[in-house]
Amino acid sequence: MKGIWIYILLGFFAELIDGTMGMAYGVSSNTFLRSVGIQPAVSSACTHISEIFTTFTSGISNLRLKNVNKNLMMKLLVPGIIGGVAGAWFLVSFQSKFLDMVIDVYLIIMGCVIFSKVFKKNKPARDLGHFIYGLGFVGGFTDAMGGGGWGPVVTSTLIASDHEPGRTIGTVNTAEFFVTIAETTTFVAMMGDFRAYYTIILGLIIGGVVAAPIGAILCKKIPVKAMLAIVGILVIVLNLYKLMQHSGLM
């Protein structure tokens, strides 16, 4: 159990950000784990195993706070699960830096769009039509591939389409529980025994479960304009960092 406290702290702060802003648990956890030399497939798998517990806690908290649009969640679920399984299989079987860079650029643009809404009047949410199913698939696929991407892709795109931030974050976080189970099952089936990494997984679970209810409460308390500004900056900074990594500049 030596060194577990660093993973507890990592899990706590990653989930606090994710629960409040609808993204960054996977991105921040995976970025840290990869920075200390853990292979991409292993770091993504460890992150998603721990996320089963954190997303369950977050989902229950958001449902109790009536912070979930159930109709939107159901539209995201099935394509998200299919995309998550496909992404997990692809990550274990192949590596694609080009795909990572395309996603990074897309998310930086989405971050700029979100941040720009701080200075505009609120508009009715745009109906994404059948695009919502493709969004769910891409979100699940990139989530498995990058160890985090469901929140950045799905949440940022929906908020950029003028969906109300608080309920969007609660909805996307709740749907993530089911997508995470599908991804984790695929990782375990393809990669086998993860007992060697139990300290990492247990630390992330403990820290994340403690933080999840706090994040759900903060999600309802933070004013919309402030949340748009924070989410926009968070998306831009995290993905600029990842783009620099993927392009070999760091």
pLDDT in tens, 20-71: 776 667 777 777 787 677 777 788 788 888 888 888 988 898 888 888 988 9
Residue 174 near residue 62 (C-beta atoms within 8 A): yes
Report which of 232, 4, 225 is spatially closest to residue 109, judged by C-alpha positions: 232
* CA dist., res. 210 & res. 188, Å (int): 25
Over pLDDT 90: what percentage of the chain?
17
Q: How far is CA 29 from CA 11, 17, 224, in A?
A: 7, 11, 26
Of the candidates 28, 22, 21, the one whose C-alpha atom is nearest the C-alpha of residue 207 is 28
> pLDDT at residue 96 above 70?
no
Confidence of residue 93 (pLDDT cuts 50, 70, 90): confident
- 113-122: per-residue pLDDT in tens? 778 877 876 6
Question: CA–CA separation, 121 vs 232, rounded Å?
Answer: 16
Separation between Cα atoms, residue 138 and residue 129, nearest integer Å = 15
From the list 23, 17, 20, the residue with the least C-alpha distance to 111 is 23
The pTM of the full predicted model, rounded to 2 decimals, is 0.76
Q: For the residues 233-241, what does the mean pLDDT come to?
A: 80
